[in-house]
Each structure stands twice: as C-alpha cells, then as structure tokens.
Amino acid sequence: MKNDEEISIQIVAAEYVLGTLEKDERDAVEAKRATDPMLEKAILSWQAHLAGLNDYVKEAEPRGDLFDDILAKLDQSSDKKPLPGKVVTPSSSGVVEIERMRAKLKRWRLTAFTTSAIAACLAVFMVVKPPVAPAVQANAPFVAVFQADDQQPAFIMSLDIDTRQLTVRSVTAQGQLEGKTYQLWIKADEIGPAPRSLGLLANVASPIQKQIDYDPAVIRHATFGISVEPAGGSPTGVPTGPAIHGKLYPTSL
Amino acid sequence: MNQPLLSEQHTTESLANLLLSVAQGDRHAFSELYQATHRKLFGIVYRILKNQAMSEEVLQEIYLKIWEKASSFDASVASPITWMATIARNRTIDEIRKNQLPDSDEEVDFDLIADDSMAPDDSFTRSQDLLKLEACLDGLESPRAEMIKAAYLDGFSRQELAERFGQPLGTIKTWLHRSIKQLQGCMTL
C-alpha cells in the first residue's frame, strides 16, 4: 500500500510532466528534484509514461534558415565559454578527453542495451558489447572494461572463449602517446606471481586481436592489465608504467 | 526498427549516436540531428504556443539546450526522441507559464482542437508506449482522458482546462489527481 507521501509525490511529478502546474509550483518542483531522488524518479517515470502522447503531434515546419541562426548563437556562446568537446586535441585537456571517452562508452553501452537485455545485469561498470565487426565479435560472450582514471584512456576487451581470441578496442580514438605504447598483460595465480605479457597494443586506433594460449578457465578468471610502456614494450618483462585493470564478465547467464 | 516519432530513416540507435557525437561538439552531427528531429519538435512547440515566430524562437533555444545537454543523455533512461521531446516540452511549458502569451496566430477553438488532433498522426506507427497509455486512458471516466491529452499536448493550465471543459477549477484539480492515481496504477501493472 502506498503511503500518502508517495502518492502526493506522484501527483506533483505527473502534473509537472503534464504541464498543469503554475509557474511558482513548477519552479518549486525544479528546485526540489535535484535533491529529492524520489521526486526525480517519479518525474522520469511520468515522462516515460506520457511520452507516447507525442505521437499525436503533427510535424510542423519552421522557417528554413532557423538552423543557421542556431549555429550563429552557438558561435556567440562559444566566444564566451568553451563548449563541450570543442577542444579535440587529446593532450590539451584531460577533461575533454574523458568526456569523449564517456561518450564513446555510452555508445557501446547503448548498443549493449539494444542488443542484449543481459547488459543491465552488469551495470556495475559501463557494460558493453562491441557493436562493430560483428563477424569477428559474434562469439564473444565475455567482455572486460578497463575503466580509466582521469588521465588514461579506457579500453574494452572481448573474449571468444572457444577460439581464445581476445579483441581489444580503445574507447578513445586517439590514445597514442608520444614515444610510448600500450601493453596488454594477464595475471592469474595459475600462471605465476607476476603478470605475463600478451603483447603490445601498438595501434589502438583500430581493434587489436590477440590469440592467447592459456587455459580458458584461467583466462576466464584472470586479471588483465594494460600499461603504458616505452616504445617497443616493457624493458623488464613486467609492467613498468601506469596500468589499468579489468576482469572478464559473461554477457550471458 | 520502426521509429514511430520520426519521418526520417533514423532509428533510436542512430539518433543516440548522433547525440553522442553532438556531446563531443560535432556540428555535422548536430545538423543531422536537427534535420531528423526539428519537424517533430517544432510540432510539439507550435501546438502549445500556436505562434509561429515565438515557436521558432523557442525551438532555437531548445536545440541550444540539446547541444549543451547532449552529454547527459542516457539511453537507459529514455529514447533520444523522448529525451529531446522532454526538453522541448519543458522549455515550451516554462515559456507559457512564464508569460501571458502575445496574441496567437489563430483563435483557439477548443472544439476544433479536440476534434482535429486528439488522434495520433496517421503517418506514424503507433508506439508501444502509446498503445499502453491509450489502454490506460480508456479506463478513465469521460472526459478525463481528453483532459490529460489537452494538458500534455496543448499545454493547458488548470485554469484553461477549467474553461475548456466547463468545470470549476476545483473539479479539474480533482479530476487531475484521480486520473493520475488511476493512470499510475494502470501504467505500472
């Protein structure tokens, strides 16, 4: 049984979405939703419930040059402050780069949502199923996400356990560092105490495939790492630069 | 995949990808997004404001907002077109609640609105969302389903609904609250 508070939140949220609230009431809802998760959730829920009504709206045509005006306003506002993603040089802004990364992750995530409801079960990370190169990726029931900190790009890796083929993809288009390279590692108790190299990720602009010879059961539970190394790879045989890690998660139950 | 809200050949996924590119400052993607969606969004705005010039002004602001907020789009919460339509409706409702509108281009004939456009645009496939909502609206006592549609589609305030349906304001409030409770139960089944 719902309590009165929940009912009144639902009513306020629904009226907000319907648009029947007066200005002061709308303002109050907008101020409150930022700090009231129940209200925010109710608003999102009513937006979804009522969105179908947009089907009733007939399309209409504004004047033809309206988009030019929109672009002109964008230019004006970008003179005052940088717009998201305006700076695309990766080295110039870690923040921009991380935004690009998030956007890409979202794109993968979106595909995961549209292709597999299972993805929702794995939402601890941004869960992904590679959307491209389906011929290569079709039998890739395991994925790992290498979540970056604010300085490093993230990677997504999928594994076809039958062929033991790993596919690693950079989430950033331009992940190359001057005079450096990325190196992929595997670490598992069965293999030994130190990480073992799985090779360099020399050109991360396109997906990189690696055949690995370890037992599937070992691969399945291993920790994978990607480190930044001098060009040519780690001089010591173990990771020397900053590394990010990931583990494989099944994409099916 | 059918995209019931759009006449262009865009799918939910292609629009989401455009939004993601827009979030990275891609103006070409922004242009494509505009081309794919502006007629629908303008339809939403114009139906509420019923004034071409003001609707165009508001539509500009809506797309600037879409540009700014693209990075917060989350495909797990809403479809791209629903997300954009929400921005459009919010901005438009804010506009009419903020101001007394200048004279509209047309005399608003409430009967005509009800007759002419309370049915979905036939050129679109009905979405699953709409089918479910319609089933739930059908369960409301007449004329409350029309009231809900008039509020959502035409942006009527409670006062305007009172005039439209010839009822005291208190009755409209009661109708709204009861309809919301009933829809809430029905939609979450």
| Mean pLDDT within A159-181 | 72
Q: Which of A43, A46, A53 to mutate to test the interface with B (most CBs of B within 10 A)?
A: A53
Q: Mean pLDDT: which of A95-109, A189-203, B171-185 is highest?
A: B171-185
pLDDT of residue A184: 86
pLDDT of residue A137: 40
Q: What is the CATH number of domain B112-187?
A: 1.10.10.10
Per-residue pLDDT band at B180 (split at 50, 70, 90): very high
Residue at A195: amino acid letter:
P
B24, A44: Cβ pair inside 8 Å? Answer: no
Q: Which residues of B touch A44 (CB under 8 A)?
A: 77-78
Structure tokens at A130: 């590679």
Residue A91 CA to chain centroid, in angstroms? 20
B25, A84: Cβ pair inside 8 Å? Answer: yes
Q: What ipTM was assigned to the predicted interfaces of this complex?
A: 0.86
Q: Lay out the sheet containing A243-247: strands in order across.
A: A196-201, A180-187, A223-230, A243-247
Q: What is the CATH number of domain B12-98?
A: 1.10.1740.10
B56, A59: Cβ pair inside 8 Å? Answer: no
| Mean pLDDT within A192-220 | 79
**pLDDT digit string (tens) for A13-67?**
999 999 999 999 999 999 999 999 999 999 999 999 999 999 999 999 999 999 9
**pLDDT digit string (tens) for B144-159?**
999 999 999 999 999 9
B17, A49: Cβ pair inside 8 Å? Answer: no
Q: Which of A4, A21, A22, A54 to mutate to test the interface with B (most CBs of B within 10 A)?
A: A54
Domain ranges, ordered by start, for chain B: 12-98, 112-187
Among A11, A19, A120, the residue with its CB nearest the CB of B152 is: A19
pTM of the model: 0.58
- Give the separation between CA B138 and CA B151, rounded to whole angstroms: 16
- Give the separation between CA B130 and CA A50, rounded to whole angstroms: 8
∠ at Cα B8 (A120, B131), nearest 5°? 55
Q: Which of B180, B181, B187 to mutate to test the interface with A (most CBs of A within 10 A)?
A: B180
pLDDT of residue A143: 77
Residue with the larger pLDDT of the pair B102 and A233: A233
The residue of chain B with its CA nearest to that of A48 is B78
The residue of chain B with its CA nearest to that of A127 is B76
